[in-house]
Amino acid sequence: MIPYKHEPLTDFSNEENRQAYEQGFKVVKEYLGQEIPLIIGGERIYTEDKMENFNPSDREEMIGYVSKATQEHAEKAMQVAQETFKTWRKVNPEVRADILFRAAAIARRRKFELSALLSKEAGKPWPEADADVAEGIDFLEYYGRQMIAMKDGVPIAQRPGEDNRFNYIPLGVGVVISPWNFAFAIMAGTAVAAAVTGNTVLLKPASNTSVIAYKFVELMEQAGLPAGVINFVPGSSRDIGDYLVDHPKTRFVSFTGSREVGVRIFERAAKVQEGQIWLKRVIAEMGGKDTIVVDSDADLELAAQSIVKSAFGFSGQKCSACSRAVVVSDVYDQVLDRVTELTKELTVGNPEDYNNFMGPVIDKGSYDKILNYVEVGKEEGRLVLGGTGDDSKGYFINPTIFADLDPEARIMKEEIFGPVVAFAKAKDFDEAIDIANNTDYGLTGAVISNNRFHLEKAREDFHVGNLYFNRGCTAAVVGYQPFGGFNMSGTDSKAGGPDYLALHMQAKTVSEMH
Ligand SMILES: NC(=O)c1ccc[n+]([C@@H]2O[C@H](COP(=O)([O-])OP(=O)(O)OC[C@H]3O[C@@H](n4cnc5c(N)ncnc54)[C@H](O)[C@@H]3O)[C@@H](O)[C@H]2O)c1
Ligand SMILES: N[C@@H](CCC=O)C(=O)O
């Protein structure tokens, strides 16, 4: 088996690749507006009540009509998953890994279709969609290899006449709850991390992006995943969210999403339900309020480029997005002016057009929430650019820059999850790091500096799970920059990292006396 290497991103300056993406749209158009079933134990179940998934760039275009799981369906899926676990847990880890490798190959062959679907269902510009699919392929390749590496456990101390073994075994039935913003990568990564380690899964994707999740479960079946290992239960979190989390047979919950929901899940999962014989494990990857710090001795062009790309890529709808720029005062105006200049060049429009850098935000709820924060920003700071939106056809918000914020301002502390960046001035580098650390989160951050001692200070004191030097604060690559945050950014797990699969297993010691 060749060593892991991340999936290369597509070069869209190449005409052939652009044509392949356009062809991807043609393939997607063949199944737009399809009815999407639940998948429980391999059985397709179509429900009367459905979610209407629309294109956030053009809400008249329906992506699919997705069946909604009820608590009865969730219960059926739980029973199927428990039964399947009895056999799946005993399948050779190398066989489980082979399924992931085959799934990666299938996804690679279909990557333009999958990316085109993300452009439609999640409003992702081509490069962002391509990166999302590439990351999903990376998770499949990386976790497959990780499982093989862990299959024989860890050597432990031995004594004459004794054979001591330390092996990892699966946990049981996992509820995997995924977000809409990395609708392929995170949904696929969290589901296969649970499955490849021998668990069975109830997958509840975000409602906005359930069609790509369905396509993924189909793809896993094509790769040979047995029925009942991943059960697809899209639906309203109001109807089945608590039910899945509270269920006494739920052994663990792997959640990626907002702080608010993550805290709710963490609290509910802590309660031992009637008939429950374990403490549920919760793996949570939550929100962020991420900062790029710019030092006085720094490449200011790099700083400006990094802020713009990290703040406005995918309309800032990333937990890793740069929503705060903290700049040392003697270079503040220069950096702010350059960021403003670069931002004016960004194109906003339907992401099906390759030339658009930014597409829409995901839905009306997000649109209204972000514009509400714009009004807050106008009270707290100086609006330098943007602050407007257009929801006549889709949910488009222009890239927005606020300046001269107090470090304690709301738009400096609360996750907006949109194309809004707030600038604050620091009197020196030490103060900049203090401001960077003043949120409840601890996900990503970046420092743009040529001062080695300042970088080393940041390495020690800038309290985020993913810290980057002299680059932007988004775009962790699986296996190279394991991803996950501190404090209210989650349970300190690191997706795409060497210890991630262990979170889905438990260690067993067996000692034989000869
Ligand atoms: N840390 C990370 O790696 C990471 C990655 C992506 C997104 N996020 C965060 O996710 C948020 C954006 O994603 P979102 O809008 O999908 O988040 P969300 O919390 O609204 O929803 C996430 C998932 O939880 C489900 N859900 C909602 N309420 C639930 C409940 N009561 N019980 C069970 N499930 C429930 C949703 O249906 C969805 O599938 C942002 O805060 C972002 O920072 C974090
Ligand atoms: N892992 C992604 C962020 C995921 C959250 O939305 C990145 O590193 O930019």
Q: Which residues are catalytic?
A: 285, 319
Q: What is the residue whose two structure tokens read 């009895």?
A: 86
Instruction: Please report, rounded to a whole number, the percentage of residues in the chain having pLDDT higher than 90.
Output: 100
Cα–Cα distance measured from residue 114 to residue 4, given in angstroms and rounded to the nearest whole number: 22
Which is the closest atom of ligand 1 to the Cα of 244? Answer: 33
Q: What is the mean pLDDT of residues 85-109?
A: 98
Q: What is the pLDDT of residues 22-45, one digit of tens each?
A: 999 999 999 999 999 999 999 999
pLDDT at 6: 98
Beta strand 290-294 with 400-403 is unpaired
Distance in Å, CA 256 to ligand 1 centroid: 5
Contacts of residue 105, defined as CB under 8 A and 6 or more positions apart, other chains included, come to none
Q: Rounded to two decimals, what is the model's pTM?
A: 0.98
Distance in Å, CA 430 to ligand 2 centroid: 27
CATH class of 28-286+492-513: alpha beta
What letter represents residue 55's amino acid?
N
3-state secondary structure of 480: coil
Say whether pLDDT at 319 is over 90.
yes
Pocket test for ligand 1, best of 132, 177, 439, 491 (most atoms within 8 A of CB): 177
Which residues make up the CATH 3.40.605.10 domain(s) of the chain? 28-286+492-513
Say whether pLDDT at 198 is over 90.
yes
Average pLDDT, the chain: 98
Find the residues whose C-beta lies inside 6 A of ligand 1.
177-182, 186, 204-207, 237, 241-242, 245, 256-258, 261, 264-265, 285-288, 319, 415, 417, 443, 485, 489-490
Q: What is the mean pLDDT of residues 64-70?
A: 98
Residue among 446, 449, 455, 444 at smallest CA distance from 482: 444
Cα–Cα distance measured from residue 189 to residue 1, given in angstroms and rounded to the nearest whole number: 20
Which residues make up the CATH 3.40.309.10 domain(s) of the chain? 290-469
Cβ–Cβ contacts within 10 Å for residue 510, how many? 10
Asked if 401 and 300 count as a contact pair (C-beta separation under 8 A), the reply is no
Q: What is the pLDDT of residues 454-498, one digit of tens each?
A: 999 999 999 999 999 999 999 999 999 999 999 999 999 999 999
Contacts of residue 41, defined as CB under 8 A and 6 or more positions apart, other chains included, come to 77, 80, 84, 227, 228, 231
3-state secondary structure of 274: coil
Cβ–Cβ contacts within 10 Å for residue 293, how many? 26
Say whether pLDDT at 1 is over 90.
no
Say whether pLDDT at 235 is over 90.
yes
Distance in Å, CA 61 to ligand 1 centroid: 24
Q: What is the ipTM of this complex?
A: 0.98
Cα–Cα distance measured from residue 399 to residue 378, given in angstroms and rounded to the nearest whole number: 15
Distance of CA 158 to the CA centre of its chain: 42
Distance in Å, CA 180 to ligand 1 centroid: 8
3-state secondary structure of 329: helix
Q: What is the pLDDT of residues 256-298, one digit of tens each?
A: 999 999 999 999 999 999 999 999 999 999 999 999 999 999 9
244: its two tokens: 């899945």
Cα–Cα distance measured from residue 4 to residue 129, given in angstroms and rounded to the nearest whole number: 22
Instruction: Please report, rounded to a whole number, the percentage of residues in the chain having pLDDT higher than 70.
Output: 100
Architecture per CATH, domain 290-469, reads as: 3-Layer(aba) Sandwich (3.40)
Q: Which residues of 123-222 form beta strands (DSSP E)? A: 162-170, 173-177, 200-204
Q: Indicate whether residue 474 lines ligand 2 (CB < 6 A).
A: yes
